[in-house]
Amino acid sequence: MRLLRGIDLDSIGARLRAPLHGYTLSLLALVASLLLVWLYWSNARQRELNAVQAEFAAETDAIAELLRQRLASYELVARGGVSLFASVDRPSAGQWQGYVDALNIAASYPDMLGLGYAPYLDRSELQALQLDMRDAGQGFYVVRPSGVRANYGPVLYFEPRTEANRAVIGNDLFADPLRHAAMASARDDDAVRITAPLQLGEDSGRPVTGVVMFAPVYRFGTPATLSARRAALQGWIYAPLDMSEFVASALHSTRRHAALSVRDGGSGQGEGTVLYADHAELAGRGSESDFRRTVPLELYGRRWELDFSADAGTALAARTPELRMTLGAGIIASLLLFGVALVLARTESLAERKAALLAESYQRSELRFRNAMRFSAIGKALLDRRGAIVDANPALAAIFDTSTDALVGSMFGAHFSDAGDEARRSREFAAVAEGVFRTTRQWRTAGGELRHAQLTYAPVPGEIGQDVASLVQVEDITERVLAHAREQALHRTLEARVALRTRELTHANHELESFAYSVSHDLRAPLRTIEGFSRLLGERYADKIDEVGRDYLARVRKAAGRMDDLIDALLKMSRVSRSPLTLAPLDISRIAREVVAELRIAQPQRHVEVEVEPGLRAVGDAALVHNLLQNLIGNAWKFTAGADNARIVVGGEDAPGEQAAFHVTDNGAGFSPEYAGKLFRPFQRLHNPEQFEGHGIGLASVKRIVERHGGTVGAEGRPGEGATFRFTLPREVAAAG
């Protein structure tokens, strides 16, 4: 009888009775028979429809349970990985591969793209892991994306080792917002969690949509508190799941009549992201006669909604073919009325649904705005076109030390100390009409204290009949203003102190320079006297002095000459520290080749194999860097004098940051590692001066040159096995200011 609602039967009957008096009984009999047929068919159909719908509900519950059980089996796999970490502090790559191979993922879990482990690391732990892997011969462990973060969750293991899975090693899962949310929840709740829908890659051109399951791994068992769990977290066992394969694997043995789509609703309401949908011939159903059912699943921190649909007419026809004959007897007479009623009912339903959605949307929007006003920690007020307060929140009342009722109706500008500035108020409202406008104002508290506020105006529409023109936010920035003033004062004080210290340092450097030249002059005068008279004594009285005396005179002259050389070396090292620094891009390879050419010209009898890596570049002072390489390569040249197949290598090294790293390596005499700290001190020598001449100033000059460029220098060596000197220089010229 629902199908006849809205039809004026009395009107139809009145129109029929007048022209058709002779067919009244026939029409009544026809109507009665059609009514009986329809009642019989309706009751029979309803019984069968209820049975089919019950089967449909049972089928959907069974499918939901199969999906839940399938996910539970993945949890067991992940928990197994956690157990492996409980028995071994950190399994090796081989142990992890053995565990995953034993699972036989390809056959048992075809929808699982792999099983991996991601450690939970801070920056220092990441660097230590990278060093351990490099020392173990596993190469440099690169984390993607690059950048400095507080914590990392990079993929360390991921099996099986397919080409696609190897490319995942090093990806920082903790840097991705969707994965981060699931990983943090698993960490804090000590529970397995899955992510929101993700794009996991492509399979033969088909985008793979799925989710990732995370199981936390703790050190020393499961902590009881949240802070303890965060501190004890070692990492996560994770498994990415292809949703299409997941549904196919879970339901491979089930004969389905209902079409299925899976939506991820997260923790929100309404429509969510579609995780899975059957192909078009199953998912395209949409008539009102379909069975439809939504089964919610709360799974590992996510809410999945399983939408089922089935063609009720097809299912019913398969069970009761005899109903078709009964339906055919009455379908001709009732078709028009059924169609009209269906259209009217459907139109009314759609209209009511849209009206309800619009009303609910408006109510939610109004509630959100009211809550934002009421619970905001920043003062807020709605102003009309005159600048009067229409509504205010408690935070604004607290700022002005009054009540919200007292604020409503008052002029907003009157609460500030510059309230009489009418021009300012006009400019502010003119700026609001063009968009968001910010300004600062001052007001005095009841105790007379002057406070500072930052005002942010924004145009907002009011309801019909309301004169609402703008929303203003009032933030008390007094402490910020005072802190800025203190910072400026401190900055000026520091600048004055720096200027004073600079003047003192400059004066000390000038005095030191004068002292160095004065000492060198005063020392050289007696040295020349000693050397001169020793030479005259040896020339004029050689026949009166025996062989021992002549040897003594030779030693005196040699010592005087060495003293003169040491004075020259000290002056040269002093000039290295005092000379102005002019930075420019340098070709380190070219400078090294020039130094080698000078050494070959000075000692053409030496045959030394020198390898200079091409393309070495840095920034520095050309003269000082030439001096640096001259000392390092000259040392290598000198200490390979006694080596067979003497060889020197000048090359670069990988170095992060703003410094370029280089090394000079030789296979010469070398040195004991315990004396490496004495190499860069002035006059410190580790070899016999009779075997290797020198003043002990060269490496001290190298250290000063490198440090003036903001770099570091170090040395490694072993007796008889050669030495390696490493140093760094800037990559680029530092920006001014």
- Nearest CA-CA partner of 247 in 199, 201, 304, 188: 304
What separation, in Å, do the N-terminal and C-terminal C-alpha atoms of the chain show? Answer: 88
User: CB burial class (10 A; 0-12, 13-18, 19+) of residue 536?
Assistant: exposed
Torsion of CA 41, 47, 50, 55, to 10 degrees: -110
Q: What is the largest CA-CA distance in the chain?
A: 175
Rounded distance between C-alpha atoms, residue 356 and residue 413, angstroms:
42
Rounded distance between C-alpha atoms, residue 215 and residue 187, angstroms:
8
Rounded distance between C-alpha atoms, residue 365 and residue 20, angstroms:
60
- Nearest CA-CA partner of 391 in 375, 370, 377: 370
Other Cβ atoms within 10 Å of 673 Cβ, number: 12
Per CATH, the homologous superfamily of domain 580-730 is Histidine kinase-like ATPase, C-terminal domain (3.30.565.10)
- List phi, psi (to 5°) of 387: 95, 10
- Nearest CA-CA partner of 172 in 188, 156, 184, 160: 156
Rounded distance between C-alpha atoms, residue 554 and residue 544, angstroms:
15
Tokens of 379: 């003062």
Residue 670 confidence (pLDDT): 79
Q: Which fold is adopted by the domain 376-476?
A: Beta-Lactamase (3.30.450)
Q: pLDDT tens for residues 170-215?
A: 999 999 999 999 999 999 999 999 999 988 887 777 788 899 999 9
Q: Averaged in consecutive runs of 10 residues, what is the pLDDT profile of the chain (737 residues)?
A: 42 46 57 73 76 84 90 90 81 87 86 91 90 83 89 92 86 92 92 91 80 91 86 92 88 80 69 74 50 88 88 69 63 54 58 76 76 78 81 82 81 73 60 70 79 82 63 84 86 84 69 62 69 75 78 75 64 61 89 91 88 92 87 86 86 85 89 72 54 62 85 86 90 60
- Sign of the CA dihedral with 706 first, then 707, 709, and 714 last: positive
Residue 578 confidence (pLDDT): 58
Per CATH, the homologous superfamily of domain 63-310 is CHASE domain (3.30.450.350)
Rounded distance between C-alpha atoms, residue 429 and residue 387, angstroms:
8
Tell me, yes or no, if the pTM score tops 0.85.
no
Domains of the chain, by residue range, sit at: 63-310, 376-476, 483-556, 580-730
Contact 203, 218 (CB under 8 A): no
580-730 has the same fold as 376-476: no
DSSP state string for 25-86: HHHHHHHHHHHHHHHHHHHHHHHHHHHHHHHHHHHHHHHHHHHHHHHHHHHHHHHHHHHHHH
Report the 3 state secondary structure along 173-185.
HHHCHHHHHHHHH
Rounded distance between C-alpha atoms, residue 532 and residue 560, angstroms:
10
